[in-house]
Chain A
Amino acid sequence: MFLRAKHTVPFLFLFLLLCLCFLLNIGLGSVDIPLSEIFNSIFGAESQEGNTAYIVRNYRLPKAFTAILVGAGLSLSGLLMQTLFRNPLAGPFVLGISSGASLGAAILLMGGALVGGAAATYFSGDVALTIAASLGSFLVLAVVVYVASKVRDTLALLIIGLMFGSLTAALVSILSYFADSEELQRFIFWTFGSVGNLSWSQVGILSICVMIGVLISIGLIKTLNSFLLGEQYAISLGVSIARSRFWIIIATGILAGAVTAFAGPIAFIGLAVPHLCRQLFGSTDHRVLLPAVLLYGPILLLLCDTVAQMPSSAYVLPINAITSLVGAPIVIWLLVRKRKMIF
């Protein structure tokens, strides 16, 4: 209904920007690799097995793909939450969903002290980490949704989300107190957030999860648009609220849970990107916003990751710090510019 020619230009712009950021992200790293060699490594003959090709194929490419998946997943889950709660400040991080995932991960990584070391090491594979983090985010999400149905006040909901964040943080710190140093280190590194260090098979698992989330969301586009009017109007337009809410939660839980499991809790992307897209496209139609956040989120995360790896140096900064440094000012800027944040 609102898909018009005026949206073609921003979409084209975002797509080109994404390609550019992708190349930039692969091109810049601790070792300088000229662009021509990168192309050779990606598209070149299989026989070419130099150091450069190895770095590009097994380190930089999976990292760039992870950044794309993480950016897309977090932004989409942010969009879903903002529409579900009809609250411009909702996002996977603010409502405690990421904290829930952290708790799941913490129990898995550090719970060894509680349940016995052997079981923990046996279960601490990647799939187990994904499942634990997803379960944690589902749990918090389910409680938040339950509370949301009791309190109509959106401000109260945000405070409750913050309280859940503190609650899970407290549980995590108790776990860390009893964990041994090796487990603790593993968990702390996980909380810094990182899109690197994923093998191709891990990227595969993550992309399947993100794909499932995206597919469910595409099926929800019409419902999400009716939610723009509020729940009562949505019902009168023939929408089954309970069913839609269920699927939105499933999609959000899978997206935020899987992303947080692999990349750690990454702040602000989920909150900021939907707003940036509304700003850019001047639309709240989910048929425009859904593809838009899937392009914009990856761009932002690729850029943040490029900064985080501090080109030409051996240092890698925690990406969570970079996204907060970028994201928090964006949110403040949006608030100041529009005075009132509308969604």
Chain B
Amino acid sequence: MQLTLESLSIGYLQKHEDLVVSDGIQFNSSAGDLVGVIGSNGIGKSTFLRTLAGLQPPLKGSVSLDGQNIAGLSPKDLSRKISVVLTDPIATKNLTVRELISLGRQPYTNWLGTLSREDLTKIDQVLSMLQLENIQDRICYELSDGQLQRVMIGRALAQDTPVIILDEPTMHLDLVHKVQLLKILGSIASELDKLIIFSTHEINLAIQLCSHLLVMNKNGASFGSPDALIQNDSLQQLFPDKEVFFDPKSKSFTFEAAP
């Protein structure tokens, strides 16, 4: 499975002039990669991920899976290729964990949404992989943020797609849960051979845990392994206002203490 972006330009169609959020994004990624998307607030990470997931059309360029442009896929076919975990809260939390994860099987169920034996097996696998078995009958509004985020990842996993896209999955989580979550994502990518792309503000964690990074700044986007991006100065340019700077020795961002 190979995801290819060609001179992708993202943004919003407007009456007079299109609002270009970011231009000329280009990369090539394959199953098993854990790709972190980093950049400052408002740079267009969410827009980029939504375009990638086919939730909004690109202004220019294309997103292709194994050489096939996703714009040409039917909604049903696309739903078997890409699953998402978004920042918007789900409309109702009045569902049990198991019910919520079961909804991920919709692309495979019949017109009434009846779960087959295969669907049930898949759901059980997801529950055990994410260690959600003991809370599977709890209602979602009772869950903590960390638990709910794992359940949402479970729903995406149940959708059984080669690509999973997550928008800021570490938001609202404490450091321990952030690390746990990113490790889970890493193991899903390597063990289940999936391509996982997520945006995050946890740059230091992303540098340590991701196989590739997409760094978005005002001048464009650069893609590569964390080490390559450190070498070619891309990370240093992430925050141009010198408030924080990248320290290549510790491979992390830091700031000057007040004098």
Contacts and interface: CB of A to CB of B under 8 A. Distances in A.
Interface string B122-153: 00000000000000000001000000000000
B90 interface: yes
Contact of B103 (A86, A232, A237, A342): A237
B248 interface: no
B92 A228 contact: yes
A235 B74 CA distance: 11
B88 A284 contact: no
A227 interface: yes
Interface residues of A, number: 27
A222 interface: yes
Given A1-B102, A1-B115, A238 B90 contact: no
A226 B103 contact: yes
Given A1-B102, A233-B86, A237-B106, A284 B111 contact: no
B95 interface: yes
A236 B103 contact: no
Contacts, number: 90
Given A222-B109, A228-B90, A239-B75, A284 B95 contact: yes
A228 B78 contact: no
B75 A284 contact: no
B156 to A, nearest CB: 9
B91 A235 contact: no
A281 to B, nearest CB: 11
Contact of B111 (A222, A232, A235, A239): A222
B94 interface: yes
A228 B111 contact: no
A100 to B, nearest CB: 25
B111 A342 contact: no
Contacts of A221: 112-113
Given A1-B119, A228-B91, 6 more contacts: A86-B92, A222-B112, A229-B100, A237-B79, A237-B106, A238-B75
28 contacts: A1-B102, A1-B113, A1-B119, A2-B99, A2-B102, A222-B106, A222-B109, A222-B111, A225-B103, A228-B90, A228-B91, A228-B103, A229-B90, A229-B91, A230-B89, A232-B84, A233-B90, A237-B106, A238-B78, A239-B75, A240-B75, A278-B94, A284-B92, A284-B94, A284-B95, A284-B99, A285-B99, A342-B92
